[in-house]
A and B are shown apart, each in its own frame.
Chain A
Amino acid sequence: MVGGVFSRFKIPLLLAPALLVLGGLFAGGLYAALVQSLGYFPAIGMTEVSLDAYREVLGSRRFLDSLLLTFYVAGVSTVLATVLAVLAALALRRSPSRISSVIFQVPITVPHLVAAVGIALVVSQTGLGARLAASLGLIGEPAEFPALLYDRYSVGIILTYVWKEMPFVALVVLAGLRGVAGELEEVARTLGASAWQRFWYVVFPVISPGIVAASLIVFAFTFGAFEVPFLLGRSYPTILPVMAYDEYRSVELTDRPAAMAINVLITLVTALTAALYLRLSRRIGGRRGSS
């Protein structure tokens, strides 16, 4: 009977389409990237498996510069976004939730390229910032305004990430503040704790696991993201995903294993971050469940 067979294999049957699609495209793609990073590339006559690409990549100055830049951009963006998110959440905790929700959802929903172009139009040498500086008499020519795009310190990229990612962390913090943390704070207030004591000893310990989890997501994303640095970054050093892309598009087909090796390294770092996040959020979930 069809019904009987269906109910017996119900769960595998329901899962099969999604697992096939993700298995074929995502896992299959990752597997291919791994195999190609090991130098196995029959299409261009490379059939020997080796770690040469990794040796070459890890030993190159370009990769090292790129790795440092990537950690710098992802690290600074994550820290700034997180700190500002906590401040923004504290500022908006007493506002009606519909208003704070609208304010924070706008940057979350808008695509990254929109944020990048908007930030560029604010901080470029002919942007709103430079115009404001000129009308205040601080600068005379556009060129006197500091270069914040394609610059050494990746200011444009970091500002874009902070604008895009801060609201996501802020919503997580806000949910914490309006939940258990808020109730505990009331108790502490009744017991005579000062505003700072209430924040540091009561509110912060309750909301911090959520903050850490959310900032891990931000770090994993900014570490592996491609388009904002591709648009607003310098040509050397580039962020790792852009370097992988450049190697991949190189005319020399023998550069492909190196591109794939970089990809595998990016995947390892982000997967590790993701695993940390999942562990942490499970712990948070578990504690919530038991309370």
Chain B
Amino acid sequence: MGRRKRPGGLGLALVASLVALPLLPLLLWAFTGVWRFPDLLPSELSLRGWEYVAGGGGRAPEAILNSLLIGVAATAASVAVGLPAGMALGGYEFRLKGLVIFFVLLPILVPPLASTMGIHLTFIRLGLADTAFGVFLVHLIPTVPYTAIILTSVFAERGGEMEEAARTLGASPWQTFRHVTLPRAVPGIAVASLFAFLLSWSQYALTLLIGGGSVITLPMLLFSAASGSDPVITAVLTVVFALPALLALVVALRFLRGHGDERDLPFLGRPS
């Protein structure tokens, strides 16, 4: 009450260690050779798990490559589709705008499992089931809404004066887009791409349903390892699986340095 400065260090340390707690055994197991039961630390270290990931007999390299390719494709498609949507929703007022935003947000809020099971039959008929292309298509269900909403907030935060000036000076719509709109939207596009990639990279359920076990991505492999009995392989795959998220975090923090404040997920705090 009367105290001005509270010792905030204790709370900080507590929260930080709770956040770090599940990540700690992952890192230890990933480099473990022998770790007998009551021991608190491994008694021998080894790189066995990493040799497996690098291709020592397993399907890890193929799975990682599949995850990367599907992720990059889903990101590119989401930005291509989400950028114009973001320009319309962020830059203009029009009738039924609220309804359109609700429709775009719904796939984020409602689990995509239902629609994916529903569309499975059609995918089988079209020959899209059990193919990487089919998996890429269903990954768009969560990635397109996120990119569109992030880009909407990017375009909503700034007015269209520069575009108007460009048009007044005689630029065509395409020239305006290419030389005025696009360059200014690059940071927003980068954030949206990062999100889209991470979302696709993290997908398990949709890949399982549409890939049907024929399209092996990293989470598919990780899931079967986690259901098995080798914690070393499981831990290594999990660390690799977490890597892009952690890298993205480092990049995002450097990127946001100028702003100084934390940014929560751009869509969630304020959807409209």
Which chain A residues have a beta carbon within 8 Å of chain B's beta carbons? 3, 6-7, 10-11, 13-15, 17-19, 21-22, 25-34, 36, 43, 88, 90-95, 97-122, 126-128, 130-132, 134-135, 142, 163, 167-168, 171-172, 174-175, 194-195, 214, 217, 220-221, 223-227, 230-231, 241, 244-245, 248, 259-260, 263-264, 266-267, 270-271, 273-274, 277-278, 281-282, 285
Contact = CB atoms under 8 A, between A and B. Distances in A.
A119 B89 CA distance: 40
A244 B204 contact: no
A26 B253 contact: no
A107 to B, nearest CB: 6
10 contacts: A15-B88, A18-B81, A21-B77, A92-B12, A94-B6, A217-B109, A226-B111, A227-B204, A278-B102, A281-B270
Nearest to B194: A109
Given A17-B85, A33-B118, A220-B109, A278 B173 contact: no
Contacts of B104: 18-19, 22
B114 A109 contact: no
B117 A122 contact: no
Contacts, number: 293
Contacts of A126: 37
Interface of B: 1, 6, 8, 11-12, 14-16, 18-19, 21-26, 29, 37-40, 77, 80-82, 84-85, 87-89, 92, 94, 100, 102-107, 109-119, 121-122, 137-138, 140-141, 144-145, 148, 172-173, 198, 201-202, 204-205, 209, 219, 222-223, 226-227, 231, 234-235, 238, 241-242, 245-246, 248-249, 252-253, 260-265, 268-272
A94 B140 CA distance: 40
Contacts of B92: 10-11
B107 A91 contact: no
Contact of A241 (B88, B103, B111, B115): B111
A39 to B, nearest CB: 14
Given A109-B245, A224-B111, A248-B117, 5 more contacts: A98-B260, A100-B12, A109-B249, A135-B40, A171-B262
